[in-house]
């Protein structure tokens, strides 16, 4: 995996954006803390200076200059490093105490900048905030403190924030790279699989890690999609093989008929007979084509738009009534058990066609004397239409196959038909969202269509 | 009868023209919708046969616009589209019948003749008679030479359909559409089965099978 690819990856870019956002918020937080802390500290220093100035003023009022100076000396002695600076100028401007430079003796704050006294950051001058208090006897009291330490405190805050910031960004970038590379590896696996499939290895599947995360779910969904595509392609291939095979047979017969005719025909009656046979074969081929197109059309699902609520009971009754004579002629016992008033959402023509195909099969593929039962009833599973017979039946292993295109049982190969009848039924069932199944009815075959019922119109 | 055929496949067009000519009809031919429309306004036709898909003006809109001027001119659609929706669309636009390709010529001829003989006014008869076979549509009773014949409802409808077209060829598909209302071929022998039942009930001499075409009913030989 290249660095460039890593840096372009979606997850890395996401991480970068996240880090940037995080940095901005940390900076805002740092400056907020910086400004409020230094302001608070300055305020505190000035309050201390003010309080002390008032206290010294009181000493002066009680005992004049001498007591004031005594108090200042006491304070300076008692203080440790960083205490307040006291200075007193006499009425003539003479320095009586302390070392602060003189200034106009007006009440208020002044700022002095002087040489460093050791507690400043290297290379900076000392900065003092001084409160000037004129006294009653013309003396001038100056109380001040180093405000450089406010700055020092501030830079301490900023410094620690800086370290935290650096650490965080480093970790975020590292984490981003780590996560992206992991993510990219898995994306890359999907990509490689897709490439392999494009190259022609259609049985390749995306490897899965077995953890139930979103990428694994995606992989399993994609794999299922590929399975479905493969099975569709397989069935398509089968269909085209089957079509080719099943059309070759009648075309071959047609060719033989015509070739024989060319050599052996002598009378107009012969011509007529040959042409009739030819037309019969061509009709069979057209029928097969028609059925293939029909299955395709039904499977495309386009007819679902024309669905209507219809009485399945009436439809089944109607078809059974129509079929009764054919059943009788074929020597079958035909019984119906149809519950009235059952409705489904569907396409009448296709449903009729399905039932006709199943009944035709029952007539064609069973012996005389067989009993055929059509039953329509509502069960707890839905509306259930079943057609059963007690004929030779279908071996259990073949039950699923009978719905496949062109599938015909070995013993039925010689009977009329194109092997598409039940494929149409299966396609129609699928279109209607109905479950279709075939089972042995011991003996015989039972085909069941299970529809979801429609509420009767109010 | 004078028929106008509009069909864009020249081979099929020539074939239909020739076969209809042999059956005693006079046929004009147009391969485009717009030229066909021009011919209609000039000639005096008894029937139009129109392909749904035509260059120039397509069949559907052609018939729609034609219907405003000549509401009684029978129209038969030919089409490659055999779905129920396509059929309904064709009939809604003003077609009287709809035939899906590929078809046997006999099928086309039977439908052409049925359309040409269709009575212009559709007064419903209450009873019909062919030879000595009589059908009462109100009481739903069938008698032959005065003897009552019991028919199943479907057999009755079948007989009624045939008798409304006495001595006229009716194809298997026409019966599926008219009697069963199946606008598709379910590929079964239900028509044959019902015809043979009906024959056995009313006497085998009346309903004749026309080879390769269909059936027709006419007064039986046994009838006077």
Which of B102, B184, B193 shows the shortest C-beta gap to A286?
B102
Same domain, B83 and B60: yes
The CATH number assigned to the domain holding B42 equals 3.40.50.2300
Question: For an interface test with A, which of B87, B88, B157, B186 has the most A Cβ atoms less than 10 Å from its Cβ?
Answer: B186
Same domain, A318 and A421: yes
Count of structural domains, chain A: 3
Of B70, B93, B117, the last residue of a domain is B117
Confidence of residue A285 (pLDDT cuts 50, 70, 90): confident
Averaged pLDDT of chain A: 84
Q: For the residues B57-61, what does the mean pLDDT come to?
A: 87
pLDDT one-digit tens code per residue, A29-41: 888 998 998 899 8
Of A300, A328, A359, the last residue of a domain is A300
- How distant is the alpha carbon of residue A305 from its chain centre? 30
> Among residues B48, B52, B112, B47, which one has the least CA distance to residue B87?
B52
**pLDDT of amino acid A410:** 65
Q: For the residues B38-55, what does the mean pLDDT come to?
A: 88
At CB < 8 A and 24+ separation, what contacts does A200-204 make?
A202/A226, A202/A229, A202/A230, A202/A233, A203/A230
Same domain, B92 and B13: yes
In a domain, B173, yes or no: yes
Same domain, A137 and A239: no
Q: For the residues A165-192, what does the mean pLDDT come to?
A: 85
Of A275, A300, A325, the last residue of a domain is A300
Which of B83, B184, B187 shows the shortest C-beta gap to A287?
B187
Q: Taking CB atoms and an 8 Å cutoff, what residues of chain B touch A327? A: none
Return the higher-pLDDT residue of A320 and B224.
Answer: A320
Instruction: Yes or no: say if B89 and B56 are a contact pair by the CB < 8 Å rule.
Output: no
Which of B84, B154, B187 shows the shortest C-beta gap to A349?
B84
In a domain, B224, yes or no: no
Instruction: Yes or no: say if A84 and A143 are a contact pair by the CB < 8 Å rule.
Output: yes
Contact status of B190 with chain A (Cβ, < 8 Å): yes
User: Which backbone phi and psi does A93 adopt, to 5 degrees?
Assistant: 90, 10
CA distance B58 to chain A (A): 23
Confidence of residue A196 (pLDDT cuts 50, 70, 90): very high
Verify whether the Cβ–Cβ distance B186 to A326 is below 8 Å: no
A104 contacts: CB under 8 Å, gap ≥ 6: A132
pLDDT one-digit tens code per residue, A321-343: 888 988 988 899 999 999 999 99
Q: For the residues B60-84, what does the mean pLDDT come to?
A: 84
Which of A303, A322, A329 shows the shortest C-beta gap to B154?
A322
The pair of structure tokens assigned to A158 is 């900023």
Return the higher-pLDDT residue of B43 and A35.
Answer: A35
**pLDDT of amino acid B142:** 92
Least confident span in A44-58, A69-83, A229-243: A69-83
In a domain, A187, yes or no: no
Which of B102, B182, B189 shows the shortest C-beta gap to A352?
B182
- Percent of all residues in chain A with a pLDDT value above 90, rounded to a whole number: 14
pTM (predicted TM-score):
0.61
Q: For the residues B171-177, what does the mean pLDDT come to?
A: 90
Same domain, A292 and A347: no
Count of structural domains, chain B: 2
In a domain, B122, yes or no: no
**pLDDT of amino acid B224:** 40
Same domain, B88 and B133: no
Same domain, A120 and A36: yes
In a domain, B222, yes or no: no
Contact status of B84 with chain A (Cβ, < 8 Å): yes
C-alpha to C-alpha distance for A76 and A86, rounded to whole angstroms = 8
Same domain, B93 and B185: no
Q: Three-state SS across chain A?
A: CCHHHHHHCHHHHHHHHHHHHHHHHHHHHHHHHHHHHHHHHHHHHHHHHHHHHHHHHHHHHHHHHHHHHHHHHHHHHHCCCCCCEEEEECCCCCEEECCCCCCCCCCEEEEEEECCCCCCCCCCCEEEEEEEEECCCCCEEEEEEECHHHHHHHHHHHHHHHHHHHHHHHHHHHHHHHHHHHHHHHHHHHHHHHHHHHHCCCCCCCCCCCCCCHHHHHHHHHHHHHHHHHHHHHHHHHHHHHHHHHHHHHHHHHHHHHHHHHHHCCCHHHHHHHHHHHHHHHHHHHHHHHHHHHHHHHHHCHHHHHCEEEEHHHHHHHHHHHHHHHHHHCCCEEEEEECCCCEEEECHHHHHHHHHHHHHHHHHCCCCCCEEEEEEEEECCEEEEEEEECCCCCCHHHCCHHHCCCCCCHHHCCCCCCCCHHHHHHHHHHHCCCEEEEEECCCCEEEEEEECCCCCCC
Please state, as a whole number, how many other Cβ atoms lie within 10 Å of the Cβ of residue A238: 13
A350 contacts: CB under 8 Å, gap ≥ 6: A298, A303, A428, A431, A432
Q: Taking CB atoms and an 8 Å cutoff, what residues of chain A touch B186? A: 352-353, 356-357
Contact status of A333 with chain B (Cβ, < 8 Å): no
pLDDT one-digit tens code per residue, B79-89: 887 766 777 78
In a domain, B95, yes or no: yes
- Percent of all residues in chain B with a pLDDT value above 70, rounded to a whole number: 94
Phi-psi region of A345 (alpha: psi -120 to 50; beta: other; left: phi over 0): beta
| Residue A85 lies in domain | 3-155
Task: Please check the confidence at residue A11 and state whether its pLDDT lies above 80.
Answer: no
Please state, as a whole number, how many other Cβ atoms lie within 10 Å of the Cβ of residue A199: 9
Q: For the residues B34-42, what does the mean pLDDT come to?
A: 86
**pLDDT of amino acid B20:** 92
Q: Taking CB atoms and an 8 Å cutoff, what residues of chain A touch B154? A: 321-322
Averaged pLDDT of chain B: 86
Instruction: Yes or no: say if B78 and B49 are a contact pair by the CB < 8 Å rule.
Output: yes
C-alpha to C-alpha distance for A276 and A273, rounded to whole angstroms = 5
Query: What ipTM, to 2 d.p.?
Result: 0.76
Same domain, B170 and B85: no
**pLDDT of amino acid A411:** 62
In a domain, A168, yes or no: no
Which of A297, A329, A353 shows the shortest C-beta gap to B186?
A353
Instruction: Yes or no: say if B52 and B28 are a contact pair by the CB < 8 Å rule.
Output: no
Same domain, B99 and B133: no
The CATH number assigned to the domain holding A369 equals 3.30.565.10
Task: Please check the confidence at residue A121 and state whether its pLDDT lies above 80.
Answer: no
Same domain, B96 and B160: no
Same domain, A365 and A253: no
Contact status of A354 with chain B (Cβ, < 8 Å): no
Q: Taking CB atoms and an 8 Å cutoff, what residues of chain A touch B175? A: none
CA distance A427 to chain B (A): 16
Which of B83, B152, B190 shows the shortest C-beta gap to A326?
B190
The pair of structure tokens assigned to A433 is 């969202």
C-alpha to C-alpha distance for A98 and A261, rounded to whole angstroms = 142
Same domain, B63 and B160: no
Instruction: Yes or no: say if B50 and B75 are a contact pair by the CB < 8 Å rule.
Output: yes
Same domain, B94 and B185: no
Contact status of A40 with chain B (Cβ, < 8 Å): no
Confidence of residue B77 (pLDDT cuts 50, 70, 90): very high
In a domain, A113, yes or no: yes
Of B117, B139, B155, the last residue of a domain is B117
Q: Taking CB atoms and an 8 Å cutoff, what residues of chain A touch B189? A: 326
Task: Please check the confidence at residue A119 and state whether its pLDDT lies above 70.
Answer: no
Same domain, A32 and A64: yes
Task: Please check the confidence at residue A87 and state whether its pLDDT lies above 80.
Answer: yes
The pair of structure tokens assigned to B180 is 């069963």
**pLDDT of amino acid A338:** 93
C-alpha to C-alpha distance for A69 and A120, rounded to whole angstroms = 28
- A–B interface: beta-carbon pairs under 8 A: 40
Please state, as a whole number, how many other Cβ atoms lie within 10 Å of the Cβ of residue A314: 15
- How distant is the alpha carbon of residue A401 from its chain centre? 37
Q: CA angle, B184 as apex, B12 and A362 as ends, to 5°?
A: 125
Same domain, B31 and B69: yes
Same domain, A311 and A263: no
In a domain, B223, yes or no: no
Verify whether the Cβ–Cβ distance A325 to B193 is below 8 Å: yes
Same domain, A24 and A95: yes
Same domain, B90 and B146: no
The CATH number assigned to the domain holding A35 equals 3.30.450
Same domain, A296 and A309: no
**pLDDT of amino acid A413:** 60
Q: Three-state SS across chain B?
A: CEEEEECCCHHHHHHHHHHHHHCCCEEEEECCHHHHHHHHHHCCCCEEEEECCCCCCCHHHHHHHHHHHCCCCCEEEEECCCCHHHHHHHHHCCCCEEEECCCCHHHHHHHHHHHHHCCCCCCCCCEEEECCEEEECCCCEEEECCEEECCCHHHHHHHHHHHCCCCCCEEHHHHHHHHHCCCCCCCCCHHHHHHHHHHHHHCCCCEEEECCCEEEECCCCCCC
* Signed CA dihedral, B92, B94, B96, B101: sign only: negative
Confidence of residue B76 (pLDDT cuts 50, 70, 90): very high
**CA distances to A17, B123, B147, B172, B217 from B158, in Å:** 81, 20, 19, 11, 11
Same domain, A16 and A34: yes
Same domain, A288 and A405: no
Same domain, A384 and A433: yes
Verify whether the Cβ–Cβ distance B194 to A325 is below 8 Å: yes
The CATH number assigned to the domain holding B183 equals 1.10.10.10
Of A300, A330, A356, the last residue of a domain is A300
Task: Please check the confidence at residue A386 and state whether its pLDDT lies above 90.
Answer: yes
In a domain, A178, yes or no: no
| Residue B212 lies in domain | 127-217
Verify whether the Cβ–Cβ distance A349 to B190 is below 8 Å: no
Same domain, B113 and B154: no
């Amino acid at each position: 995996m290249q660095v460039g690819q890593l840096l372009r990856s979606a997850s890395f870019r996401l991480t970068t954006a996240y880090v940037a956002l995080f940095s901005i918020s940390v900076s805002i937080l740092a400056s907020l803390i910086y400004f409020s802390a230094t302001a608070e500290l300055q305020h505190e220093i000035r309050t201390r200076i003010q309080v002390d100035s008032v206290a010294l003023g009181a000493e002066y009022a009680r005992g004049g200059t001498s007591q004031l100076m005594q108090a200042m000396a006491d304070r300076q002695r008692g203080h440790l490093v960083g205490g307040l600076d006291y200075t007193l100028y006499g009425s003539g401007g003479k320095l009586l105490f302390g070392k602060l430079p003189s200034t106009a003796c007006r009440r208020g704050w002044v700022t002095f900048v002087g040489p460093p006294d050791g507690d400043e950051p290297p290379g900076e001058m000392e900065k003092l905030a001084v409160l000037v208090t004129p006294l009653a006897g013309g003396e001038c009291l100056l109380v001040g403190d180093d405000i450089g330490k406010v700055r020092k405190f501030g830079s301490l805050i900023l410094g620690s924030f800086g370290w935290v910031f650096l650490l965080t960004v480093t970790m975020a970038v590292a984490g981003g790279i780590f996560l992206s590379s992991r993510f990219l590896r898995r994306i890359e696996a999907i990509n490689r699989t897709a490439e392999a499939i494009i190259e022609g290895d259609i049985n390749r599947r995306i490897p899965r890690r077995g953890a139930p995360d979103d990428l694994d779910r995606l992989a399993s969904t994609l794999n299922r999609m590929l399975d479905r595509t493969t099975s569709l392609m397989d069935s398509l291939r089968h269909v085209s093989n089957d079509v080719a095979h099943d059309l070759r047979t009648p075309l071959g017969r047609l060719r033989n008929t015509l070739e024989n005719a060319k050599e052996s025909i002598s009378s107009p009656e012969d011509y007529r007979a040959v042409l009739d046979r030819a037309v019969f074969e061509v009709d069979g081929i057209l029928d097969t084509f028609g059925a293939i197109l029909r299955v395709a059309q039904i499977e495309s699902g386009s007819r679902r738009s024309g669905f209507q609520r219809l009485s399945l009971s009436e439809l089944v009754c109607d078809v059974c009534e129509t079929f009764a004579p054919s059943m009788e002629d074929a020597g079958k016992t035909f019984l119906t058990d149809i519950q009235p008033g059952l409705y489904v959402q569907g396409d009448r023509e296709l449903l009729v066609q399905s039932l006709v195909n199943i009944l035709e099969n029952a007539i064609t593929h069973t012996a005389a004397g067989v009993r055929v039962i059509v039953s329509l009833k509502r069960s707890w599973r839905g509306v259930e239409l079943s057609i059963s017979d007690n004929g030779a039946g279908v071996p259990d292993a073949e039950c699923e196959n009978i719905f496949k295109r062109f599938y015909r049982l070995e013993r039925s190969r010689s009977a009329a038909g194109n092997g598409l009848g039940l494929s149409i039924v299966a396609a129609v069932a699928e279109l209607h969202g109905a479950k279709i199944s075939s089972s042995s009815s011991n003996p015989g075959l039972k085909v069941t269509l299970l529809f979801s019922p429609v509420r009767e119109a109010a | 009868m004078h028929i106008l055929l509009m069909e864009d496949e020249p081979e099929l067009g020539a074939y239909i023209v020739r076969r209809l000519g042999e059956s005693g009809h006079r046929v004009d031919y147009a391969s485009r919708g717009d030229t066909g429309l021009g011919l209609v306004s000039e000639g005096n036709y008894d029937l139009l046969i129109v392909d749904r898909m035509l260059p120039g003006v397509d069949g559907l809109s052609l018939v729609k616009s034609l219907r405003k001027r000549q509401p009684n001119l029978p129209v038969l659609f030919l089409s490659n589209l055999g779905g129920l929706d396509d059929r309904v669309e064709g009939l809604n636009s003003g077609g009287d019948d709809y035939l899906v390709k590929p078809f046997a010529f006999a099928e086309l001829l039977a439908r052409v003749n049925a359309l040409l003989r269709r009575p212009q006014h559709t007064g419903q008869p209450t009873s019909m008679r062919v030879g000595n076979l009589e059908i009462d549509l109100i009481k739903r009773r069938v008698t032959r030479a005065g003897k009552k014949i019991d028919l199943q409802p479907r057999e009755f409808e079948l007989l009624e359909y045939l008798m409304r077209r006495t001595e006229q060829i009716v194809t298997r598909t026409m019966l599926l559409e008219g009697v069963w209302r199946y606008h598709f071929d379910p590929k079964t022998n239900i028509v044959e089965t019902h015809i043979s039942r009906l024959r056995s009930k009313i006497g085998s001499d009346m309903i004749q099978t026309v080879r390769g075409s269909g059936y027709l009913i006419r007064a039986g030989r046994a009838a006077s």
